Amino acid sequence: MTPPPRRLAGTLILAMAFLACVRADGWEPCVQVVPNITYVCMELNLSKVPSGIPSSAKHLDLSFNPLRVLARRSFSSFPELQVLDLSRCEIQDIKDDAFWGLDYLSTLILTGNPIQNLAPGTFSGLLSLQKLVAVEINLSSLENFPIRHLRTLKELNIAHNLIHSLKLPEYFSNLSNLGYLDLSNNKIQEIHHKDLHVLHDKPNLSLDLSLNPIDFIQPGAFDKMRLQGLTLRSNFDSAHVMKTCIYGLTGLEVHQLVLGEFKNERYVQEFDKSALEGLCNLTISEFRLAYLDDFPKNINGFFKCLVNASAVSLANLYIQSLEGLPNDLQWQSLELVKCKVNQFPMLELPSLKRYVFTANRGAISFSEFELKNLEFLDLSRNGMSFKGCCSQRDMGTTSLKYLDLSFNDVVTMSSNFLGLELLEHLDFQHSTLKQASEFSVFLSLSKLLYLDISYTHTEVAFHGIFSGLVSLQVLKMAGNSFKGNALSGIFTDLTNLTFLDLSMCQLEYVSQGVFDSLLKLQFLNMSHNKFISLDAFSFKPLHTLQILDFSFNKIVSSNGQELQHFPSNLTVLNLTQNPFDCSCKHQSFLQWIKDQRQLLVDAKNLECVMPPDMEGKLVLSFSNTTCQITKVIIIVTVVSVAVVSVIVGLVYKFYFHLMLLAGCKRYGRGENIYDAFVIYSSQDEDWVRNELVKNLEEGVPPFRLCLHYRDFIPGVAIAANIIQEGFHKSRKVIVVVSRHFIQSRWCIFEYEIAQTWQFLSSRSGIIFVVLQKLEKSLLRQQVELYRLLSRNTYLEWEDNVLGRHIFWRRLRKALMDGKAWTLEGTAGVENSQQETTALT
């Protein structure tokens, strides 16, 4: 089903409006690398230069876009441009003035464009162009290449083209700044006498002609010419052609000559030493030779034309032995790289200052030599063993400044660099050092700046291992171990150290004061160790520290109090790949991490490992409120438990009072059956039966009393009877206070209930009858009762006629208060009046 066109159009308009909102920047879809400076628009299917890029742009990469044609002034809206990359833009046609206005352009890259038409004024206006890369642009001739006015050009790369002739046009004499011309991988076969005559006044030019199938160089073509460099690799398809072509170079004075082949482009078979005979007609300072098969076994005479060279590099040649070198060699530098030399050569070259003998897997063990001017010695990557290292005796020099013995087999430290006090750079990495931690090996190296003993199987046990290294700036000792996995005070002398690598050392502790003397340290790498806590206190002396790497440890947390001692100049802190504990007890550490996120590497991806409910969560997502909520929950719980306990206690204590309260509600509105509930001690029962009941129930008006011996329901608990029968069904309570009453627990209980009842029903319902005069001391045992009796009016029983009369009158009056008069009651009142009359 297709939507109706109108709806589709509507959707499209909406979508475009949305995109317009999203697309806030004009330079999109390009990538802004440096705002207003660098823009990358690589492979975006652009057919023209995007318009939204700011005119201040200095670097513009438009590579891999189908621009096809560059019209006039294509880039005039970017007058500040310095680098313009137009690699693989399918450009076939470049019009006149295409780059007009790019006064500051220094680099133009046109690699991989199938250019068919370059207008004569293509590069006009490029007043500052220094580097032109026109690799693989179908260029077949230099004659029509319109670069004659590019006077500022320093580097011209026209490799991988179809150029057949090295005939350099006259305009090259204009290019007075040209220093590098790459013509490699073209189709040049022959070099003739007049081809290069424009280069006669260009002594600073380096020329690369590699991978051209050269088969003829006319003798004299390079005569009296001076070049900075000439590279001819994989040019000749036989040793014979090579030999004749080298003769063709006769008369050339070149600083650096590079000959040889590439591993994947080998043509010269049966190379013999006569091939280089022609070099005797050249003046060469540096000679380099690489990748030649079938190198002669006997090199006697091979180097006779290189006697006066100052530097020789030989790489990937099957030189088995260096025996037979001429005695009068003036070489100051010799490099032998991957040459399969089967024995460590016994060199006798007094002029040699620099000797590089690396990656020659044939050599097994080092043997002493005498090179008394040697300053630079690189013997790395040979897998060699050194039975004794190192002293002047081994190398015969006292001038050595640079020594590299890395990536070898066992190096036994038998001497502490006696006579080699000028050493500045020492590298032992990935060789196995023996006896390095038994004495102060480096004691005499007070000028050493750089020391690398990484991965040398060294167990640091001796505190004086680095004694004497007072100038050392860089110490790399990754991949070693420490006694007890503790870092102790071994850096005391290293007061100039700026870089220290202690990664992969299985470290667990840092002893106190280890870093105290490292007052200039800027970089410290402690990654891939086994620290479980970030011990900020030990970094306190490192005021200049800028970069600290603690990644890949087992750091769970850190003491929050100590973190204030963290170096204040730190700009980068790496704590990635540590098992952080994000529980609330580490709250201050986690907060510190959040505060330091600006200097933390990859802070937003730091993850918690503990506690289980936080596993995999981001450290930055840790919230203090979580901990506060927990605190609140704890407080609320404690308070609730306390309150509940108090309530339960109170309920237990006032169980009956509560029952009374419940009863009040239930019976509150019901009618009272009794006029009074009498609380008395059983000891006073006689008085109650004979006096109280007789006078009140049989008297006028008749009152109905609730008496336990008569009215309580059998089978019901006494307490229940007291409450349900006694209080709830009675209007008033008569308390018969006597000595027995105070001494009876039941009576006191009943009295307390009565009080509560009085309080709850909020009426004055308790009538106190004091039967006997009470001793005050006895009464005081019942504080509340005493208080009440002293405050309230009570009736006192007096056993005489007048006293009795007044007593009953007052009691009746008290009982009448609030009595609901029924018919029976009214009659009672009349009777009472009669009786009253009769009495008076």
CB of 295 to another protein, least distance (A): 15
CB of 59 to another protein, least distance (A): 14
Nearest to another protein of 290, 614 (CB atom): 290
Rounded Cα gap, residues 515 and 488, in angstroms: 9
Nearest to another protein of 111, 681 (CB atom): 111
**Rounded to the nearest 5°, which phi and psi values hold at 384?**
-85, 160
CB of 640 to another protein, least distance (A): 54
CB burial readout 721-756, b (16+ within 10 A) else e: bbbbbbbbbbbbbbbbbbbbbbebeebbebbbbbbb
Rounded Cα gap, residues 308 and 311, in angstroms: 9
Beta strands 402-404 and 376-378 are parallel
Distances, alpha carbon 726 to alpha carbons 33, 730, 759, in Å: 96, 6, 16
Nearest to another protein of 160, 728 (CB atom): 160
Rounded Cα gap, residues 86 and 616, in angstroms: 46
CB of 88 to another protein, least distance (A): 4
CB of 474 to another protein, least distance (A): 22
Nearest to another protein of 234, 730 (CB atom): 234
Is residue 306 within 8 Å of residue 328, measured between CB atoms?
no
Please say whether the dihedral angle defined by the alpha carbons of residues 82, 83, 89 and 95, taken in this order, is positive or negative.
positive
CB of 83 to another protein, least distance (A): 12
Beta strands 486-487 and 474-476 are unpaired
Nearest to another protein of 133, 205 (CB atom): 133
Nearest to another protein of 267, 794 (CB atom): 267
Nearest to another protein of 284, 433 (CB atom): 284
Rounded Cα gap, residues 166 and 176, in angstroms: 18
Report the candidate in 480, 478, 474 with the shortest Cα–Cα distance to residue 451: 474
Rounded Cα gap, residues 550 and 573, in angstroms: 7
CB of 4 to another protein, least distance (A): 28
Nearest to another protein of 111, 360 (CB atom): 111
CB of 66 to another protein, least distance (A): 13
Please say whether the dihedral angle defined by the alpha carbons of residues 390, 395, 400 and 403, taken in this order, is positive or negative.
negative
Q: Is the peptide bond before 213 cis (omega within 30 degrees of 0)?
A: no
Those residues whose C-beta lies under 8 Å from the C-beta of residue 285, and which sit 6 or more positions away, are 254, 255, 256, 309, 310, 311
Q: Tokens for 8, please give them.
A: 């589709």
CB of 112 to another protein, least distance (A): 3
CB of 592 to another protein, least distance (A): 32
Nearest to another protein of 90, 370 (CB atom): 90
Task: Decide: helix, strand or coil at residue 604.
Answer: helix
Amino acid at 625: T
Nearest to another protein of 210, 444 (CB atom): 210
Rounded Cα gap, residues 340 and 322, in angstroms: 11
Rounded Cα gap, residues 565 and 560, in angstroms: 10
Nearest to another protein of 382, 557 (CB atom): 382
Nearest to another protein of 135, 563 (CB atom): 135
Nearest to another protein of 107, 385 (CB atom): 107
Report the candidate in 620, 480, 610, 627 with the shortest Cα–Cα distance to residue 555: 610
Strand partners, 313: 288, 335
CB of 341 to another protein, least distance (A): 17
CB of 433 to another protein, least distance (A): 25
Q: Residues 795, 796, 800, CA angle at the centre, nearest 5°?
A: 125
Distances, alpha carbon 656 to alpha carbons 623, 722, 755, in Å: 51, 10, 12
Residues making contact with another protein (CB under 8 A):
42-43, 63-64, 85, 87-88, 109, 111-113, 133, 135-136, 157, 160, 185, 210-211, 233-234, 258, 260, 262-265, 288, 290-291, 313, 315-316, 337
Amino acid at 561: Q
User: E strands, 220-326, where?
Assistant: 226-233, 253-260, 283-292, 311-317
CB of 403 to another protein, least distance (A): 20
Long-range CB contacts for residues 637-642, cutoff 8 Å, separation at least 24: none
CB of 262 to another protein, least distance (A): 4
Nearest to another protein of 234, 672 (CB atom): 234
- Helices 745-760, 655-667: axis angle to 10 degrees equals 50
